[in-house]
Chain A
Amino acid sequence: MTLRVENLTCWRGKQALFDRLSFTLEPKKLLLVEGSNGCGKTTLLKILAGLRPPTSGLVTWQQTPLDAMTEEYNTHLKWLGHDNGMSRHLSVIENLRINANLFACEAKGIETVLHQIGLKPFQDTLVKHLSAGMKRRLALARLMLGHSSLWILDEPQTSLDKAGVALFESLTSEFLDQGGSVVIASHQPLGIAPNYIQRLNLSACH
């Protein structure tokens, strides 16, 4: 379950966001992508998730290039982007049910996940009536549905309160303990044991 990146290059217009970037992410490791605004963190994450193709270079998962195994890769991957991916017209539990269906996870886990994330009292509330932090919690709940081996998270702590951030950190630590790998783009300090963390500073790539 190793994610490997070889000579990854991505251009935006005439500017290279990153040039010949290579790294390996083993299980039980967290890659913290850092860098100033606009330096290509989200772009790198999208490339790693297979959402956009790199200008050149190769991303492999268990020695197979991503575009050769999209469907299989997707069963291992959980993605959390800038947006939460939850319809505002549906209730908390309806959104999670659709997600479980979409990723073929068992719906039985939903109740437990709702408890863990602290949204159990709001399970029938429409998402448009939730606060920004609660929406982000709901998006985190998605990560815990079913099994996965790689999380790719774009600024996961956005709009979470202190308790939410602590919850997120404990969930991530637990996931790492169980052998998962995590890629996070973030500006905020991360309360996770330093022996898990592997850093990548994109601003230094220019």
Chain B
Amino acid sequence: MADFSFFILMQREFKIASRSVQQFLLPISFFSLVVLLFPLGLNPSPQLLQTIAPGILWVAALLAILLSLDNLFREDYEDGFLELLVLSPRPLALLLAGKVAGQWLIIILPLLLIASLFGIFLGLPNHSLGTLLISLLIGTPCLMLIGAIAAALTVGLQQSSVLITLLLLPLYLPVLIFGSSAVQHASTGLSSNPQLYMLSSLLILTLTLAPLAMSAAIKISLSQ
């Protein structure tokens, strides 16, 4: 039964996204807005921007993903689809992993494109752009998966966004620190391998454990 369970919800996610574009553009437009407004609020000297660019880009990506989390399971919970997932003979963890993977792909592709563009605008040296993209590519699935656990836990609550934010803050810190410091190191010409290795190990950890935690959390949320 495990054969293609993963792809069922991924495909569904793409279809829904193509029908309700607005909802999926929100994280991306939020990301662009944050990155655009920072230089306007600060002193726009090229040197300062170059120093803070890795931090801005990473924090903005983190916030964009955080913003998308509240809606991750909301509609499926409200229209009763989550109940069907739990009652399906297919493995719930795989189904949910497919859903999160779908969401991630929808958000990450435009985000990578815009992030590299903004990287150039903010004066990041060309040789560090690759590191920026790789660090986002490895780091954002961690953020998405950890966030999905919190979203699954709070989906039955009325006003869950505040709780999600509080729950996730400590768990997001390591990803943010390693991610932005990888880009920082790369922009000063140092090797960013150590940070990328750390991020990769975090990714493996979340990739293997988060789907199980998510499915347990969904079952708890539904049994209220």
B19 surroundings in chain A (CB, below 8 A):
89-90, 126
Whether B81 pairs with A71 at a CB distance below 8 angstroms is no
A94-B18 Cα distance, complex, nearest whole Å: 13
A99 surroundings in chain B (CB, below 8 A):
84
Whether B89 pairs with A104 at a CB distance below 8 angstroms is yes
B78 surroundings in chain A (CB, below 8 A):
83
B80 surroundings in chain A (CB, below 8 A):
81-85
Whether B79 pairs with A103 at a CB distance below 8 angstroms is no
B222 surroundings in chain A (CB, below 8 A):
51-52
Q: Interface residues of B, CB < 8 Å — how many?
A: 26
A85-B84 Cα distance, complex, nearest whole Å: 7
Whether B8 pairs with A101 at a CB distance below 8 angstroms is yes
Q: Which of B1, B85, B88 has the most CB of A within 10 A?
A: B88
A74-B87 Cα distance, complex, nearest whole Å: 6
Whether A52 pairs with B223 at a CB distance below 8 angstroms is yes
A52-B15 Cα distance, complex, nearest whole Å: 31
Which of chain A's residues has its CB closest to B18's CB?
Answer: A89
Interface residues of A, Cβ cutoff 8 Å to B: 46, 49-53, 71-72, 74-75, 77, 79, 81-90, 94, 98-99, 101-104, 126
Interface residues of B, Cβ cutoff 8 Å to A: 1, 8, 12, 15-16, 19-20, 75-76, 78-81, 83-91, 95, 222-224
The 6 closest A-B pairs by CB, nearest first: A83-B80, A52-B223, A85-B80, A89-B19, A74-B89, A85-B84
